[in-house]
Each structure stands twice: as structure tokens, then as C-alpha cells.
Amino acid sequence: MIKSILFNFKDFSSDFKKYISSNGQKNISSIFDSSLITSDPPQHKFLRDSIAMEFNPKNIAKLEPQIGKITQEILNKALENEKMDLIHDFAFSLPITVIAELLGVPPEDHPKFKKWADQILSSSLLIHTGSEEINKLNLQIKEEMTSYFSSIVDSRCKTPENDIISKSYY
């Protein structure tokens, strides 16, 4: 039963645009176009394969010191604040920060990247509402991210660094 659900992309799709259009909602500007988390095969496989080489055991082992450093920074911040929400401050924050590092997002832009990630996650939970406010916010986030990452891609084409974006273009 579970296997049939996992491979039933018609009824259990990750593509939110399918859900939106099946409910008759129109004019929804979505931040979910062609993303890894919001696509079904074959698009999902194509996107996954394009970054999979970065997540092999050898490359993950290389990340261990950086992940340890990020973890320590999060814990130090919690000690300074004398409180910590394990889910929000750690379980969400750690992977978002690691992903930002992998993409080559400069540390000063991590809060911006986290804000976008938080919005994407909350939108995925609220997308069924079709709220015009959510739609406008999604469009704003999409435009901000497109502009931001276009400039990073342009920069990496000129001066490659050791990040996923650079490796995708050279």
C-alpha cells in the first residue's frame, strides 16, 4: 500500500501547481516552479541527479567540520540567549544554514536565505488556502530569490568558488 502511494504521482503529487489548478485557483504566483521538493518524476530525477554528486559519502565527510562549526554557533547563540527551541532554533536552522553554505551564500546573507526557506515551508503548508496575501508574498520571495541567485550565478561564472553553484557552471 505505501509503495503504491509513493509511486502514485497523480493522486499524491509533490507538484503544488497540480493541486492549485485542480482546485480551480487562478493567478497564483508560485515559488514552487521546478524545485526539487515540488516536482515529480521525471523532472524530480533530473533535478536530484544534478546535485547528487555533491552528496556522496566522500563529500559529506568533508562537510563534517563545517557542520560541526555551524552546530557550535547555533548552540553558542542558544547559550547567549539562555533558551532554545529545539525545532525552530536547531532542527530547522542547521540544515538551512548547511544548504546556504553548500550554495555559497555568504554568511551575512544567511538570515535572508533562512527567511526565504521559512516562507517556502510555511507556504507549502498554507498553499491550499489560495490566499491573495500568500500569493503576493510568494511572488515577492520568488523575485527576491531569482534576483539574488542570478547575481551569484553571474559572479560564480566570473570567479568560481568551491560551492554547488560554481560546480554547476564550470
In degrees rounded to 5, what are phi and psi of residue 31?
-85, 10
Rounded to 5°, angle at Cα 66 from 120 and 170: 75
- Provide the residue ranges of all domains of the chain, joining segments of one domain with +: 41-169
Does the pLDDT value for residue 14 go beyond 50? yes
pLDDT at residue 157 tops 80: yes
Fold of 41-169: Cytochrome p450 (1.10.630)
Q: What angle do CA 11, 132, 32 make, to 5 degrees?
A: 45
Q: 33-83: per-residue pLDDT in tens?
A: 667 777 888 888 888 888 888 878 888 888 899 999 999 999 999 999 999
Give residue-wise pLDDT tens across range 90-135.
998 999 999 999 888 999 999 999 998 888 777 665 555 556 777 7
The set of residues, in sequence order, having a beta carbon less than 8 Å from that of 109 and lying 6+ positions away, is 100, 148
Residue 88 near residue 118 (C-beta atoms within 8 A)? no
Sequence-ordered alpha helix ranges (H) in the chain: 2-6, 16-22, 43-52, 57-81, 93-103, 110-126, 132-158, 164-169
